[in-house]
């Protein structure tokens, strides 16, 4: 009887104790960390899914919602990480990425697939002032519809060019008192001009009576030139023997200069050399040259002697097209202060290139005493 009474009292007491406290959820039960296995939280950056989330799926404490959580993990498309995408675009699905662009003009209406009636294969840019409008008009007429035309206006005058019909399909970029290479560095990024096989970056004071752009392209392809320029009329504005037109051939790639000017017949100014007044670059060559242009050295002096570093072998892939030639009209544009700046930039560029090469080869443990070898 005593055992029965004790048992009955214990049951009644336990019942009242149980109903006196809120329900204790196992999901909120905190166990000592020593009783649980150590779990390292590792997040996969590529998928955005974490080890912890996968563990939660199989946690017996989550069996009630396990099916929905597991489906969430397998169907989670909120995070993307693609390391092979361009830098900064890793979070985008690859098929939406458009890393390159062009200067093709688009309509503001209609079907985008029907915008372009033609897609020019080449690009020509001129850095211009309105005073040279007649000269530029004559030059533009030498370039067919296969060319996209870009004018960089250093005098701020753009609307006046509307008197020319071709101006309506040209790209006009206006920034006052800047140079050709300043514009090129900022508006001709290789990914922007990637649609064009060849890029002409020309001055405004060039006579083009004996020049045809389509024929020029044919000769450049025929002779495998990655960097080139038309030959210059021998009697006007000539600085280097290399760029002087020869009347007995289509193209030349080497020359003879004054004694002592060329330490190597395959190096500038005797070979692998064109001037910066009217250069023409292949798409691949321009990708290299653009990266070599310095942000602060805007006149480009010294750049022509370094172009050879962007093609190999340079003495074979850089040349002058003689049968399509131009005249450098040498319109006065450099005052004394500007000319001093040009010379200073040339010295600075040469120093930067020499120091950069020296640092590179020293990092490799190579002997840098013989600079001509590099």
Contacts of 256 (CB under 8 A, 6+ apart): 241, 262, 270
Query: Would strands 147-153 and 122-128 be described as parallel, antiparallel, or unpaired?
Result: parallel
Contact 205, 327 (CB under 8 A): no
Among 116-120, 146-150, 192-196, 256-260, the minimum mean pLDDT is found in: 256-260
Q: Which residues of 152-164 are buried (b: 16+ CB within 10 A; e: fewer)?
A: bbbeeebeebeee
> Which residues have C-beta within 8 Å of that of residue 280, sequence separation ≥ 6?
198, 199, 200, 201, 216, 220, 227, 228, 229
CA dist., res. 135 & res. 190, Å (int)? 28
Instruction: Dump pLDDT digits (tens) for 65-110.
Output: 555 545 554 456 579 999 999 999 999 999 999 999 999 999 999 9
β 147-153/171-174 pair status: parallel
Contacts of residue 187, Cβ cutoff 8 Å, sequence gap at least 6: 150, 152, 173
CA–CA separation, 181 and 276 (whole Å) = 9
Residue 92, judged by CB atoms within 10 A of its CB (0-12, 13-18, 19+), counts as middle
pLDDT, one tens digit per residue, over 187-197 is 999 999 999 99
**Contact (Cβ atoms closer than 8 angstroms) between residue 297 and residue 349:** yes
Q: Residue 333: what pLDDT?
A: 62
| H-helix or E-strand spanning residue 103 | none
Which tens digits make up the pLDDT trace of 22-64? 444 434 344 444 444 443 333 444 344 444 444 444 454 444 5
Alpha-carbon distance of 52 to 58, in angstroms, equals 10
pTM of the model as a whole? 0.78
Q: What value, to the nearest 5°, has the Cα angle with vertex 282 and ends 251 and 294?
A: 110
Angle at 41 between CA 35 and CA 45, to 5 degrees: 165
Predicted confidence (pLDDT) per residue in 319-374, tens digit: 999 999 999 987 766 667 899 999 999 999 999 999 999 999 999 988 766 544 44
């Amino acid at each position: 009887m005593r055992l029965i009474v004790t048992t009955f009292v214990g049951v009644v007491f336990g019942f009242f104790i149980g109903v006196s406290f809120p329900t204790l959820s196992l999901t909120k039960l905190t166990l000592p960390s020593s009783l649980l296995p150590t779990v390292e939280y590792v997040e996969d950056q590529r998928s955005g899914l974490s080890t912890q989330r996968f563990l939660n799926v199989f946690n017996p404490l989550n069996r009630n919602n396990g099916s929905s959580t597991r489906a969430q993990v397998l169907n989670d498309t909120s995070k993307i990480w693609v390391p092979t995408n361009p830098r900064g675009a890793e979070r985008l699905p690859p098929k939406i990425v458009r890393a390159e662009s062009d200067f093709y003009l688009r309509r503001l209406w209609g079907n985008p697939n029907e915008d372009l009636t033609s897609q020019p294969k080449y690009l020509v840019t001129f850095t211009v002032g309105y005073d040279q409008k007649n000269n530029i008009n004559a030059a533009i007429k030498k370039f067919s519809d296969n060319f996209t035309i870009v004018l960089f206006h250093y005098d701020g005058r753009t609307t006046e060019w509307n008197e020319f019909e071709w101006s309506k399909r040209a790209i006009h970029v206006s920034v006052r008192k800047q140079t050709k290479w300043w514009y090129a560095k900022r508006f001709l990024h290789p990914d922007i001009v990637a649609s064009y096989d060849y890029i002409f970056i020309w001055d405004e004071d060039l006579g083009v009576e004996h020049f045809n752009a389509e024929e020029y392209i044919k000769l450049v392809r025929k002779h495998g030139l990655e960097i080139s320029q038309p030959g210059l009329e021998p009697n006007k504005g000539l600085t280097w023997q290399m760029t002087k037109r020869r009347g007995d051939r289509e193209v030349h790639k080497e020359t003879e200069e004054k004694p002592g000017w060329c330490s190597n017949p395959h190096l500038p100014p005797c070979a692998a050399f064109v001037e910066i007044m009217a250069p023409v670059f292949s798409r691949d060559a321009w990708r290299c040259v653009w990266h070599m242009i310095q942000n602060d050295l805007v006149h480009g002096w010294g750049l022509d002697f370094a172009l050879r570093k962007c093609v190999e072998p340079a003495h074979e892939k850089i040349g002058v097209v003689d049968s399509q030639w131009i005249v450098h009209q040498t319109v006065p544009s450099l005052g004394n202060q500007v000319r001093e700046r040009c010379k200073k930039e040339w010295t600075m560029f040469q120093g930067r290139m020499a120091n950069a090469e020296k640092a590179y080869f020293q990092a490799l443990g190579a002997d840098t005493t013989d600079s001509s070898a590099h």
